[in-house]
Amino acid sequence: MVSGMKAAGFAGMVLAAAIGTASAAEVNLYTTREPGLIRPLLDAYTARSGVTVNTVFVDKGLAERVAAEGARAKADVLMTVDVGNIIDLVDRDLAQPVRSGVLEAAVPATLRDADGRWFALSMRARVLYADKDLTDLEGISYEGLADPKWKGGLCLRSGQHPYNTALIAHHLVKHGPAKTEAWLRALKANLARKPAGGDRDVARDILADTCEIGLGNSYYVGLMRSGRGGPEQQKWGDGIKVAMPTFAGGGTHVNISGAVVAKNAPNRDEAVKLLEYLVSDEAQGLYAKADFEYPVKAGAPVDPLLSALGPLTIDAVPLVEIARNRKAASLLLDTVGFDN
Ligand SMILES: [Fe+2]
Give residue 275's identity as a one-letter amino acid code: L
CB atoms within 10 A of CB 91: 14
> Residue 17 pLDDT more than 70?
no
CA of 221 to the centre of ligand 1 (A): 11
Residue 66 clears pLDDT 70, i.e. is over it: yes
**Predicted local distance difference test score (pLDDT) of residue 74:** 94
In the reported structure, the alpha carbon of residue 58 is separated from the centroid of ligand 1 by a whole-number distance in angstroms of: 16
Residue 323 CA to residue 117 CA, distance in Å, equals: 15
> Does the pLDDT of residue 195 top 70, yes or no?
yes
Whole-angstrom distance, CA of residue 149 vs CA of residue 141: 14
* Mean pLDDT value across the chain: 92
Q: What is the pLDDT of residue 21?
A: 46
pLDDT digit string, tens, across residues 135-168: 989 899 999 999 999 999 999 999 999 999 999 9
Residue 293 DSSP code: P
Residues 33-45, mean pLDDT to the nearest whole number = 89
Length of the chain: 340
Phi-psi region of 312 (alpha: psi -120 to 50; beta: other; left: phi over 0): beta
Distance from Cα 217 to the centre of ligand 1, integer Å? 7
Q: Is residue 319 packed enough to be buried (19+ CB in 10 Å), middle (13-18) or exposed (0-12)?
A: buried
- 10 pLDDT above the threshold of 60: no
Q: Is 93 exposed, middle or buried (0-12, 13-18, 19+ CB in 10 A)?
A: exposed
Considering only the C-alpha atoms of the chain, give the largest distance between any 2 of them, rounded to a whole number of Å. 88
E-only strand ranges, the chain:
26-31, 52-57, 77-81, 95-96, 119-131, 154-155, 213-217, 240-243, 254-262, 294-295
Between the CA of 200 and the centroid of ligand 1 the distance, in Å, is 9
What is the CATH T-level fold of the domain 26-123+254-302, as seen in this structure? Answer: D-Maltodextrin-Binding Protein; domain 2 (3.40.190)
| SS3 track for 83-96 | HHHHHHHHHCCCEE
Distance 49 CA to ligand 1 centre (A): 31
Model pLDDT, residue 15: 42
Q: DSSP label at 116?
A: S
Segment among 80-84, 103-107, 230-234, 237-241 with least mean pLDDT: 80-84
Strands 119-131 and 95-96: unpaired
CA distance 65 to 84: 17
Q: How far is the CA of 199 from the centre of ligand 1 (A)?
A: 8
- d(Cα 207, Cα 224) in Å, to the nearest integer? 13
Q: Are 66 and 266 in contact (CB under 8 A)?
A: no
Residue 54 dihedral angles phi and psi, to the nearest 5°: -90, 115
Q: How far, in Å, is the centroid of ligand 1 from the Cα of 13?
A: 48
Is 79:277 a contact under the CB 8 Å cutoff? no
- Is the pLDDT score of 102 beyond 50? yes
CA of 107 to the centre of ligand 1 (A): 22
The class (CATH top level) of 124-253+312-335 is alpha beta
When pLDDT is cut at 50, 70 and 90, the band that residue 23 belongs to is low
Share of the chain above pLDDT 90, in %: 85
The backbone region for 54, taken as left when phi is positive above 0, alpha when psi lies in -120 to 50, beta otherwise, is beta
CB-based contacts of 307, cutoff 8 Å, min separation 6: none
Q: Are strands 119-131 and 240-243 parallel, antiparallel or unpaired?
A: antiparallel
Q: Where does CATH 3.40.190.10 sit in the chain? A: 26-123+254-302, 124-253+312-335
251 sits in which H/E element? none
Does the structure show a pLDDT above 70 at 175?
yes
Cα 247 to Cα 30: distance, rounded to the nearest angstrom: 35
Average pLDDT over residues 57-83: 93
d(CA 188, CA 178): 16
Q: How far is the CA of 215 from the centre of ligand 1 (A)?
A: 12
**Cα 124 to ligand 1 centre (Å):** 9
163 Rama sector, left if φ>0, alpha if ψ -120 to 50, beta otherwise: alpha
Q: What does DSSP assign to residue 108? A: -
